[in-house]
Homo-oligomer: A and B are copies of this chain.
Amino acid sequence: MTATSSTDLSSELLHAQIQSFYAQQMQLLDASRTTEWAETFTEDGVFATNVRPEAATGRQVIATAAAAARADLAAAGLMHRHWLGMLTVYPQQDGTVLAQSYALVIETPRGGSPSLKHSTRCDDVLVPDGNSWLVKRRLVSRDDIG
């Protein structure tokens, strides 16, 4: 797909398409399908946070980190659900899209009550990939870290 994809869509359709992309992406992670989840990043994708100074760079590194985190959750009997919302999308001249959103992590222990684990802001650079998108760069900023 060419870089014109985002400008071929009306902004409403683009918004709906990217919302749908994120829903798929979050479902993959929460289902522990970490290899497929990592494939929603570009091969050279970057996952940065305001928690650690170093970012995870490259699909393989991102996949490995996610798999380790998922294994820890499973061992602890915890279910995580990632909710992403309040999405705004800004198509750029180069065909990428700046996607800004909020994301929540909701944690439920087996036999227990759900709670809000994290409230965050998510700033993504997305690149077109056929009828969908890939994350080229993600910055997750947790609200508890000033």
Contact = CB atoms under 8 A, between A and B. Distances in A.
Interface of A: 9-13, 15-17, 19-20, 22-24, 26-27, 77, 79, 81-89, 100-102, 104, 106, 108-119, 121, 131, 143-146
A117 B109 CA distance: 13
A19 B146 CA distance: 28
A88 B23 contact: yes
Contact of A20 (B11, B26, B121, B143): B11
Top 10 A-B pairs, shortest CB-CB distance: A108-B143, A114-B119, A12-B16, A114-B116, A79-B143, A23-B86, A12-B13, A16-B16, A15-B20, A12-B17
7 contacts: A13-B16, A23-B88, A83-B85, A106-B119, A109-B144, A112-B144, A114-B117
